[in-house]
Amino acid sequence: MRRARRIAAGLLCLLAGACAPRLMPPGPGAPPDTPAPALQRNVFRTADGIPLFLRHWQAQGEEKAVVLALHGFNDHSGAFAGGPEVIGVGPFLADRGITVYAPDLRGFGTSPNAGLWPGVEALTRDLADLSWLIAARHPQSPLVLLGTSMGGATVLAALADPHPPPADKVVLIAPALRARSTLPPGLAIGLFLVAHSVPWYSATGEGLDIRPSDNLPMLRAMGRDPLVLKETRMDALWGLVNLMDAAFKSPPHLKGLPLLIAYGSHDDLVPEQPLRLFASRLPDPDIQTVRTYPGGWHMLLRDLNAEIPLADIATWITAGEVP
């Protein structure tokens, strides 16, 4: 009987291990001749040796500030490049004297093992390392951390870390703040069960009544973009909620840091209530503000009227005020 119980317990442990959420594996370590982390041409090499593609737009004329821009969930750094369907955040800010860097975050875009969740610790460590490298390259310019959706949550979680990135200002575009405490009853439990029983199961989001932007040509272009992930593993969703939990708890760590949150009134992905709860706990309302754009959507900087919030952001970065 004891032997049978031991065998049963062992099988249950194996089953639990097989069904545990899977994280993106760490990199191979830095090459012997390359200090890690490192900032190279079009590449940010992480502390564990993973090469992450890095876009760069140099400020035109006198450099007024430097922005490190982080993309959203299942997206990549091309979100800031622009094209025939949308204004490019990078070129727009560069034309106004603001240098922009935008990496493919670990687990997304061109990075290895894209589609596997990298983990909160890996995301925030990469952000801190890259921020210090960029600050060292541009010592005379203020460094602004800009994050859209999941990128915004990554910025907040990193600022709450014991080893935060350097930042003179922060801009958050529709930051992902759906912490467990803001989810409908039972949803967090259901996500836990799914992520720990069938973590490999993928969902596409088809059939959901969600409209991320009013820019339909841009959305169609995203649908054709092979670097935009079209399916999401359940354990990746579980990891995203962990990140949003960390971001939602960050306000005590933001004291004294100028912060601008831009939010579209038609945002279907980030409800207004979690954002209101978060904003109510900001420690310095005199320098930390939420700007709501009537008619704006979740992809606010890629909407048809994206030039309006983009111009406001550029003015706030360089002059410290929103028109």
CB neighbours (10 Å) of residue 60? Answer: 14
Q: How does pLDDT run across 28-45, given as a tens digit for each residue? A: 887 777 778 999 889 999
Indicate if the pLDDT at residue 8 is higher than 50. Answer: no
Residues whose CB falls within 8 Å of the CB of residue 2, separated by 6 or more in sequence, listed in order: none
Summarize the confidence of residues 62-72 as an average pLDDT: 98
Task: Go through 264-281 and write b for each residue having 16 or more CB atoms within 10 A of its CB, e for each that does not.
Answer: bebbebbeeebbeebbee
pLDDT, residue 189, reads 85
- Sheet-wide strand order for 169-173: 38-40, 43-45, 51-57, 98-103, 65-70, 143-148, 169-173, 259-264, 288-293
- Rounded CA separation 210/199 (Å): 24
Q: Give 238's pLDDT tier (boundaries 50, 70, 90).
A: very high
Q: Which of 68, 63, 75, 59 is nearest to 39 (CA)?
A: 68
The tens digit of pLDDT for each residue in 180-234 reads 988 887 888 888 888 888 888 888 766 667 899 999 999 999 999 999 999 999 9
pLDDT of residue 10: 46
If you average pLDDT over residues 87-106, what whole number do you get? 97
pLDDT per residue as tens digits for the range 102-143: 999 999 999 999 999 999 999 999 999 999 999 999 999 999
Q: Where are the domains positioned within the chain?
A: 2-24+33-319
The overall average pLDDT reported for the chain is: 91
For the chain, the 3-state helix, strand and coil shares in percent, each to the nearest 5, are 35, 15, 45
Give CATH for domain 2-24+33-319.
3.40.50.1820
